[in-house]
Chains A and B, each alone.
Chain A
Amino acid sequence: MSHNWGMAVDLDRCTGCEACVVACHSENNIPTVGATEAARGRAMHWIRVERYWEGEFPDVKVKFRPVLCQQCDTAPCEPVCPTYASSHSEDGLNSQIYNRCIGTRYCANACGYNVRFFNFFPPAWDKPLHLQLNPDVSVREGGVMEKCTFCIQRINAGKVASGMAQRPLMDGEIQPACVQSCSANALVFGDLADPDSMVSKLAKSPRGTKLLEELGTKPKITYLQRGSWDDSQNK
């Protein structure tokens, strides 16, 4: 039985709290690069909450949009990797195979969503923070690309658990860290190959759009919002 993992992000619910960002960092052993490096633009947030301000005070509006790897069906990052480090999995995910990465960073340039990150320095955790590393996730070395994996370790754990219990996977059983931590239930994760799953239904919602659809990448994340984002350059 093959899966096709996808996600729906409800922009009408997102409060911009960034709990997803923090959860992702701690789940996936993403290093915090420090203030100097962050100022140089090296921060690595596999999921980020984009913030756009509109209008002048006191009529200011702010819009939040969580952006993470869209796990594109025709991912532009895949054909360009010389060593197949960026490749496709059977479950429809775009996998980043750390061991094969030689760090050309071409995939990051080809990615239209800027969701790929590079370990400019070998990641380090000052003691005692090294104790909170997730043993299910590898720690990358310097010179290697990384990005959101839809918490593949949780997907695999869920598949193993359901296999051992000899039952099919239930919708909502697997939740990536961001989905689990979202306080507004704005993020929904599931199997697009299962027509009864929540995410499949949301993908067909009239409120749904895809991000940067015109690039032809066939992203698997559906963004839900009432009305349009507003046709400014924020599209």
Chain B
Amino acid sequence: MTGVYGLFSTPELAQEAVDGLRASGVPDHEITIQSSEPLEEYAFGSRDRDTLMPWIAVLGAAIGMATGYFLTSITQQAWPISTGGMPIVTNWSNLIIIFELTMLGAVFASVITLMFSARLPRRLPKFYDREISNGKILIGVADPKEIDRVEHALRESSGGVRKMELQR
């Protein structure tokens, strides 16, 4: 299948290209955008913003907290050690271990969510152009149903339209 894309040197041009593509009937989820920096101030760069990550981080923290609590209180009772009358399960000092594991849980949950939702690690898909690292923004459609309309929309706003063969 063919992928059609254009490389744009400013975010304003990229925005025009996206508008043009939308006008020619390409649905949002089929438009591929790639850049070497986040462009959230622009409309095209701020889609896919909603994320459950904060909630997953809280969940991770809760799991960490539970792990810390059970690790300390269960293992402290595993061997009948004499503490000379001092408490065996010491919750005040266990709180420190519980705190650390809570925070670690939050951190791990965030990182794992990032890995899954950004689909990392993965093989670099073919629909990519190294020019992105020179500051260009790639706007394109991976498998357009009407190649000519897409080409036309892209050509309006950029110097050249490229095609590439993609493998499924």
Question: Chain B: how many interface residues by the 8 Å CB criterion?
Answer: 7
A-B contact count (CB 8 A): 23
Instruction: Please state if A90 and B86 are interface contacts (CB–CB under 8 Å).
Output: no
The answer to the question of A205 belonging to the interface, with a C-beta cut-off of 8 Å to chain B, is no
Instruction: Please state if B86 and A87 are interface contacts (CB–CB under 8 Å).
Output: no
B81 to chain A, nearest CB (A): 6
Instruction: Please state if A89 and B82 are interface contacts (CB–CB under 8 Å).
Output: yes
Cα–Cα distance between A90 and B85 once the two chains are bound (Å): 10
A217 to chain B, nearest CB (A): 11
Instruction: Please state if A78 and B83 are interface contacts (CB–CB under 8 Å).
Output: yes
B58 to chain A, nearest CB (A): 32
Residues A68-109 near B (CB distance < 8 A): 73-75, 78-79, 84, 87-90, 92, 94
Residues B81-139 near A (CB distance < 8 A): 81-86, 93
Instruction: Please state if B82 and A74 are interface contacts (CB–CB under 8 Å).
Output: no
Question: Chain A: how many interface residues by the 8 Å CB criterion?
Answer: 12
Cα–Cα distance between A46 and B136 once the two chains are bound (Å): 76
List chain A residues, Cβ under 8 A from B85.
73-74
By beta carbon, the residue of chain A nearest B86 is A74
Instruction: Please state if A84 and B84 are interface contacts (CB–CB under 8 Å).
Output: no
List chain A residues, Cβ under 8 A from B82.
87-90
By beta carbon, the residue of chain B nearest A88 is B84
Cα–Cα distance between A170 and B59 once the two chains are bound (Å): 62
Residues A39-90 near B (CB distance < 8 A): 73-75, 78-79, 84, 87-90
B114 to chain A, nearest CB (A): 35
A89 to chain B, nearest CB (A): 6
By beta carbon, the residue of chain A nearest B82 is A88
List chain A residues, Cβ under 8 A from B86.
74, 78-79
Cα–Cα distance between A150 and B81 once the two chains are bound (Å): 20
Cα–Cα distance between A74 and B82 once the two chains are bound (Å): 12
By beta carbon, the residue of chain A nearest B90 is A79
List chain A residues, Cβ under 8 A from B84.
73-75, 78, 88, 92, 94
Question: Which has the most chain A C-beta neighbours within 10 Å: B81, B82, B84?
Answer: B84
List chain B residues, Cβ under 8 A from A79.
86, 93
Cα–Cα distance between A92 and B84 once the two chains are bound (Å): 7
Cα–Cα distance between A89 and B80 once the two chains are bound (Å): 11
Cα–Cα distance between A90 and B82 once the two chains are bound (Å): 7
List chain B residues, Cβ under 8 A from A89.
82
Of A73, A87, A92, which is within 8 A of B81 by CB?
Answer: A87
List chain B residues, Cβ under 8 A from A78.
83-84, 86
Residues B65-93 near A (CB distance < 8 A): 81-86, 93
List chain B residues, Cβ under 8 A from A74.
84-86
List chain B residues, Cβ under 8 A from A84.
81
By beta carbon, the residue of chain A nearest B93 is A79
A72 to chain B, nearest CB (A): 8
A147 to chain B, nearest CB (A): 16
Cα–Cα distance between A84 and B82 once the two chains are bound (Å): 10
By beta carbon, the residue of chain A nearest B79 is A84
B95 to chain A, nearest CB (A): 15
A-B contacts, 14 of them at CB < 8 A, read: A73-B84, A74-B85, A78-B83, A78-B84, A78-B86, A79-B86, A79-B93, A87-B82, A88-B81, A88-B82, A88-B83, A90-B82, A92-B84, A94-B84
What 13 additional pairs, Cβ within 8 angstroms, besides A78-B84, A79-B86, A88-B82? A73-B85, A74-B84, A74-B85, A75-B84, A78-B86, A79-B93, A84-B81, A87-B81, A87-B83, A88-B81, A88-B84, A89-B82, A94-B84
